[in-house]
Every structure is written in C-alpha cells, then in structure tokens.
Structure 1
Amino acid sequence: MAVWLYIVGSLAAVFLRTSEGLNDFEKLSDSYRKGVELAVQQINTHEGVQQHFLFFKSLKQSCFEAGFQVSYIYHHFYLKATKCTRGTENADSKKCPFRNDRPFIDCAMCYKTFSGKIEEDPKPFVHCVHKPALTEDMMKTRVDHCNKMGYGSGSPTLLASTGSD
C-alpha cells in the first residue's frame, strides 16, 4: 500500500511540475507574454540549442507607464529545456514536457510597448544565458542597459518602478 501511495504521489508531483510553466505563462499579462514569446523565439532559433525551450517561471516584473499608451517593461524569467527538439512547432508543456536534467536559461529583457505592441525603437533588449554561466557583472549590465533604455533625462528608471515579484 505504501508503495502505491508513493507511486501516485510521484506521478502527481511530475504532473504539477510539468504543467507549472504553462500555467505561469497563461497568468502573464499580454505585454509580458509577447516579450517571453520574443525571447523563446530567439533561443529556439539559436544554432547551438538542441532542445526546444519554453517559459518556466517569472522572477521579477516591472512596468513603467509613460503615458499615451506607452510602457517600458522589464521582465526577468527562466526558460527550461523540454524533451522536444529545437524547431518543434506549436510546442507547449503538454506536448513537450520539461526536462529536469538541464540548467535553466536565465533571461532578462526590457522593451518599449505602444498600444500593447512591442516597438522596434528602441530595439528590445533580450539577454539570455544558461544559469550556471550567469555572473554578477552580467546581471549589472542587464540592469544598467534597461535603466538607460529610451528615457528622457529626469525620468524615473524602469527598475525603480513598482511591479509584481
């Protein structure tokens, strides 16, 4: 009986971990979701990547509303390798379950939106690196770049704004 409960509990834990990324992605607002899709597209088209990556978890989000339907968005999140190969179309965590034997890809990005669409100017900043290779200098560079992005002098910085964790 104890073995049966262990097996059922293990399967439930695997199911919850597998569906966690999809549920977190669905909880994102449209503006954050579009940014994640841009990062996922860039990672999954990179020549050195073998597995298909999907959104796994948000670490930090902030949004500075500049007015006139303009927003500056900062999003720090993890992508996680799946069991599907790179280039898999219409992938989600049900079709392509997450692998637990690969490190996360740590991504930080900032971009400007107008009427909910990502603007080309300034160019969206996307910085993704395997988590074990991420250094303090890289994290500082991310923050510095995003704080300088597209603000007039005297404006508040993006990372100083309040957002959800």
Structure 2
Amino acid sequence: MKMAAGLLLLVCAGAVLYSAQAQDAYDGLPDDYKKGVDLALEELKLHPGVHHHFRFLRTLDKSDIESGFGVKYLYHHFYLKPTRCAKGSTVWNAQACPFRNDRPLINCAVCYKTVAGQIESLPKPYVHCIQKPRLTEDMRTTRTAHCKKMNYNSGAPTLLAVSMPQN
C-alpha cells in the first residue's frame, strides 16, 4: 500500500512539474510573441467546436523582422495543448488548468505586424490552428505562402527567409 501511495505521489509531482514547465515556456516568450499566442487562443475560444481551454506548450519556429519606426513583422509556429478545464468554466486563469493527454496537440502558425508593441489590423493578422494529426503538407505550404506574401517592407527579405537561433 505504501508503494502505491508513493507511486501516486511521484506521478502527481511529475504532472505539477510538467505543468509548471509549460507555464515557464509561455512566461519566457517575448511579449510580442505572447500576443500572437493570445490571438490564437482567443480564436480557439470563439470556435464553436472547441470545448476545452488550451495552453501554450512550446515554440517550433519563430522569426521577426524589424523595419524601423517601431514596426516589426513576426512569424510564430507553436503547439497548444488541451487542458481539463471546459470552455466557459469559471477558471479565471487557463494557465492553472492541468493538461490532458487524451487529445491531440493543436499546431498553430501566426504572422502579424506590430507597431510600438501592438498588433496592427492591417495587414490582417494570419492565424491558422489545426489538430496536429490533421495538418497536411498543402496546409503547411499555404501557411508559408500566406506569411511570405503579406505586404512587408518592399525590398526587405520575407519574414520566413530570416532564421532565428532557437533557445
């Protein structure tokens, strides 16, 4: 009996630690990238087919171009993970919701323009999120093409041509 209780305690401690690492991942993002994650989370929250809260899990790729005068173009590719908290529940902070492992990750790509740290409405921010197993190569190509053709600085390299070192 003691061994079973000890094992349960170990599993619970691991879940708390894993959850804390995901919170650290979001907290560790620069503010401009957090805004893109928040934009994707807001769209998921408004989608009628989504029944649970989601949380940021990790970045897969990101890049940015600063074009002067406080203007920046950002691209962020990341995973969101479903939680056990139902959408519409009274949870004040979705970051407090524990992850669930019985649903697929959500693969998101966002690209948007910021001016003085605020997301601009033009060009319209691009947000594409889909369950990871449903993401096709055509969807990846469409995402990339859309972000490349956004009207950035004429003569500047496209956003996806810039590679940023990963931490």
TM-score computed with the length of structure 1 as normaliser: 0.91
Which amino acid in 2 is paired with 1:86?
A: K
Secondary structure at 2:40 match in 1: helix
- 119-128 or 43-52: bigger deviation: 43-52
For residues 137 and 5 of structure 1, the distance between their equivalents in structure 2, rounded to whole angstroms, comes to 48
Aligned to 1:16: 17
User: Are 2:108 and 1:107 aligned?
Assistant: yes
Secondary structure at 1:93 match in 2: helix
CA RMSD of aligned residues (A): 1.7
Aligned to 1:35: 36
Aligned to 2:93: 91
Q: How far does residue 12 in structure 1 lie from its aligned partner after superposition?
A: 2.4
For residues 27 and 105 of structure 2, the distance between their equivalents in structure 1, rounded to whole angstroms, comes to 19
Q: How far does residue 68 in structure 1 lie from its aligned partner after superposition?
A: 1.1
For residues 95 and 18 of structure 2, the distance between their equivalents in structure 1, rounded to whole angstroms, comes to 10
For residues 69 and 152 of structure 1, the distance between their equivalents in structure 2, rounded to whole angstroms, comes to 13
Q: Counterparts in 2 of 1:48-87, with a 5 A limit?
A: 48-87=49-88
Gaps of 5+ in 2: none
Contact 1:19 1:93 in 2 (8 A): no
Q: How far does residue 5 in structure 1 lie from its aligned partner after superposition?
A: 5.3
Per-residue displacement from partner, 1:32-68 (whole Å, max 9, x unpaired)? Answer: 0111111101001100111111211111111111111
Identity of aligned residues (%): 48
Q: How far does residue 85 in structure 1 lie from its aligned partner after superposition?
A: 0.9
Contact 1:45 1:87 in 2 (8 A): no
- 13-22 or 124-133: bigger deviation: 13-22
Secondary structure at 1:72 match in 2: strand
Aligned to 2:117: 116
Contact 1:79 1:104 in 2 (8 A): yes
